[in-house]
Each structure stands twice: as structure tokens, then as C-alpha cells.
Amino acid sequence: QSVLTQPPSVSAAPGQKVTISCSGSSSNIGKNDVAWYQHLPGTAPQRLIYDNNKRPSGIPARFSASRSGTSATLGITGLQTGDEADYYCGTWDSRLNAYFFGTGTQVTVL
């Protein structure tokens, strides 16, 4: 149902790096800014990134993101057990006139 596609899961050992892709189209990622959210089940989701690559105050520099064409990527370095969560990209779709979250990616720390 979402117009933004993410891998269902990624994993890595503590201290390693993971990247999460978010694939869209010219009417969403290709035209509008992307945000990234972290969601631990049962808790309030948290915005990690806004405007493609900006971190709100309090978000560690271990979280970084970029956008290129119709895709976006979130990177997490120095992976910690506390990073185990679901991660979502999000952006406005100008053709559908609606905001979409990506399909979500579960991060597992091995």
C-alpha cells in the first residue's frame, strides 16, 4: 500500500554499521524532503532525521541520512542493542496529495 519501499530487515553486530534504503518515485522522494523515524514497539515513535539529512537536537551523530534521485538512505554506525527497533522513511507524495511512510525496516543487533 505504501509508495515507499524499504527492506523488511537488516542486521549487524554491535559496533558495526547498517544502512536502510527507501525507494520511491519522482512524485515523492524525487520532489519532497525525506524524514526518518525510529519506533520501538509500545513506545512513541521518534523523528531521527528531517529535511533529508538534518538531525534534531539530541539525536546522536551515529545516525545519518542522504537522498539521491528517487531514493533515500539511513545509516547507523556504532550499532548498539538500544538501536533495535523499526525504522521508517517518510515523505509527501505530490501526485497523491498524501504523506507516506515507508514499509518499515526492522533492525536487529546480532
* Binding region for another protein (CB under 8 A): 1-2, 37, 39, 43-47, 50, 56, 86, 88, 90, 96-104
d(CA 53, CA 35): 8
Identity of the residue, 14 or 56, whose beta carbon is nearer to another protein in the bound complex: 56
Identity of the residue, 18 or 89, whose beta carbon is nearer to another protein in the bound complex: 89
Identity of the residue, 23 or 88, whose beta carbon is nearer to another protein in the bound complex: 88
Instruction: Give least dist CB 98 to another protein, A.
Output: 5
CB contact burial 41-78 (16+ within 10 A = b; e otherwise): eeeeeeebbbebbebeeebeeebbbebeebbbbbebee
